[in-house]
Structure 1
């Protein structure tokens, strides 16, 4: 059986790590560390389960199907596959995901060295330069492994190691404080929910296609070989994410007793400044910029490959240019606007993506009919779509009352039981039709 050599597999794994490690991943763990305090290790375990486990499973799910998320969504229906896949790629791509990552890069990598009164002009110029680099790196997906896996990832990891090691050696860190609300009684559950909020499972459905394409470009076309290589690459990326999340989360634990921060970016900025002064701010800027750059490249490439499959007559580099230009325009709306628009959409589609991933993995070992996929998706959507409407400020008192009886509804996890109920009901309906 054909197999990719260890070196190439390692570089694909490093590329996948860099693609996943975006701005959100950088700022969630430190804040968790601050809030969890002395319960940090239990909380970070929960974070890893959903913040690392689900994305890795998403990549494996795509590798099992040997194609894109559309292959999985077709198990529900053709119409659903078209609509949901379009929404997913537009959401994590040019409309929300890419411009949001660019803005975080600008806010943490450039603005500390600029005056506030030049914000709009600086954002415009920075976004143009940023997306020129993104477009260049995305032009040739076959070279992305070398550019990201061999070059950018080591620089990114070196910068993170320098920041964490410098903080440890500087003597500014202290012991952790008492756990905050939510982490004192249920640190594991709180960590699981925090990892859930990274929403990397959606990105995994796009990055999975990039990974499968990279493996095929090395001459590997056997389905089992692709699955094995993608799984190993996912494990490599997962190990890297666990190490980094644990390390930067530890910064939040150690710095919390000295000062309380509102978010993870403030914690990292504090740690960088306390350790290295202005040089630390520069190091942090490099970390954030590289993290956002690699994520944007991965998303542009994934979107370009997907839309090229949908519109084969349009060349890949033209589609990539269009995606980049739309991302550039959206990025100049500003970070707060992008986030406010994106959250309702992501809240609505994320649970559906998780259900599709899990069912795809189950189907690999046990054959499932389309009825199970349909039932689970309908059950999930009944809750997740309403959660999205609530984020928009649209609420119905009757539904609020009914859904309040669902366990974990107020935490955004109320869809779990309806998804299971959808599968069970579909099973009974299918049996009744057969009889």
Structure 2
């Protein structure tokens, strides 16, 4: 691997490692307890494996994630990928990052108030907008400068956790008692990284193109290598901060993962721990926000008549307004949407890697995505609190439904039906 691979791999790590990556592993650790290693293994599949596959999948196409989704239907590609960008961008992902940065780096030192949140997010988003104006320089700024600082701070926290926390693991909660691996698998959805990868992928591909790589074979290899660098970093960090969470079970009750990390930092390093954690959170959330603004800017510039600078200004302003609604509001609305989007994104990614088996047939894409979408729509509505007793009774017959993976078998069946009728339902797609 050359220097560029490491720089782009570090950049991708920083883009992925944001709010959800900080607050969910410690929660998983404290809730899974003695079943921690099985739970974190499931979390890594959806939190690391799928995002790396998604980024690499973008290197197979000429443009962006819309080209993958267009294999179902161009209108589906436009709508679904637009929803993905809006979800990881101004509606949920970017505002969540800024509010987590506020709660974990500013609140410990000030009295929480709407005014302090407003002032913090104002400064935060002005800086995000400035850095996002030049995407090509963003790679070097984040990959060469911000990520090493972020990694050093994370390493200090994790080493402290292994050396200074000596509590024993508690027993798993009900959520992780029966199937810790699958519980962790579904928990990995909440990082947003697999759908975020559909947006970040084109940033990585363009970064390699700007460095002189033009053949698709070399692009795929280089993107995969950068993904491996990113993956190693993410697995190490997730395993470490999740382990810290598991070690904190005996020290009290906590409201969320941020609270767990804050308490752990205080136990290990006192007041310096709060400062260390503040640096980690601020850098992690800032780099992720910049990456998401750039990704949204590049995508919506392609599908609208607006310039890149106007798009990122709009994305930044909407993110700022959403962030000031507060973290709890953002999370409560985002979870049902992610439960709906994630299975469709997973199936789309897997179809991209297996398309040679069915000659890139549109019918296979359509059958698999259609049945996946039906099941995930039900899951999303259920997560939103919509009561559907009759439908729920029917859904409970689906294999793996109780594990949150009721969409899996229907996705396979839909693909098989599409393959059997591919000659009559739709012509083959040829890229």
TM interval, shorter chain, is: over 0.9
CA contact (8 A) 1:380 1:419 kept: yes
Distance 1:19 1:140 in 2: 16
Structure 1 residues 261-410: aligned runs within 5 Å: 261-311=254-304, 313-363=305-355, 367-410=359-402
Distance 2:356 2:110 in 1: 52
**Secondary structure of the structure 2 residue equivalent to 1:65:** coil
Normalising by structure 1, report the TM-score: 0.93
Which residue, 132, 156, 159 being the options, matches 2:153?
A: 159
Which residue, 58, 65, 72 being the options, matches 2:68?
A: 72
Q: 1:305 to 1:400 in 2, by over 3 A?
A: same
Distance 2:322 2:190 in 1: 22
Q: For residue 255 of structure 1, report the CA deviation from its aligned partner.
A: 2.2
CA deviation string 1:181-209 (max 9, x = no partner): 34444332333232233231110100111
CA contact (8 A) 2:418 2:425 kept: no
* Larger displacement relative to structure 2 (263-272 or 191-200): 191-200
Query: Do residues 140 (structure 1) and 134 (structure 2) align?
Result: yes
Normalising by structure 2, report the TM-score: 0.94
Q: For residue 300 of structure 1, report the CA deviation from its aligned partner.
A: 0.3
CA contact (8 A) 1:55 1:203 kept: yes
Q: 1:121 to 1:214 in 2, by over 3 A?
A: same
Q: How many residues align?
A: 426
Measured on the aligned residues, the alpha-carbon RMSD in Å equals 1.8
CA contact (8 A) 2:105 2:277 kept: yes
Which segments of 5 or more consecutive residues in structure 2 lack a partner in the other structure? 427-431
Partner of 2:119: 125
Distance 1:339 1:37 in 2: 24
Which residue, 85, 98, 102 being the options, matches 1:102?
A: 98
Distance 1:217 1:361 in 2: 26
Q: For residue 219 of structure 1, report the CA deviation from its aligned partner.
A: 2.1
Partner of 2:169: 176
Partner of 1:55: 51
CA deviation string 1:353-397 (max 9, x = no partner): 111000011125762200000001100011111222223332333
Distance 2:399 2:425 in 1: 32
CA contact (8 A) 1:379 1:418 kept: yes
CA deviation string 1:62-90 (max 9, x = no partner): 11123211000110111111111111111
**Secondary structure of the structure 2 residue equivalent to 1:64:** coil
* Larger displacement relative to structure 2 (257-266 or 104-113): 257-266
CA contact (8 A) 1:174 1:255 kept: yes
CA deviation string 1:212-231 (max 9, x = no partner): 11111212221111111111
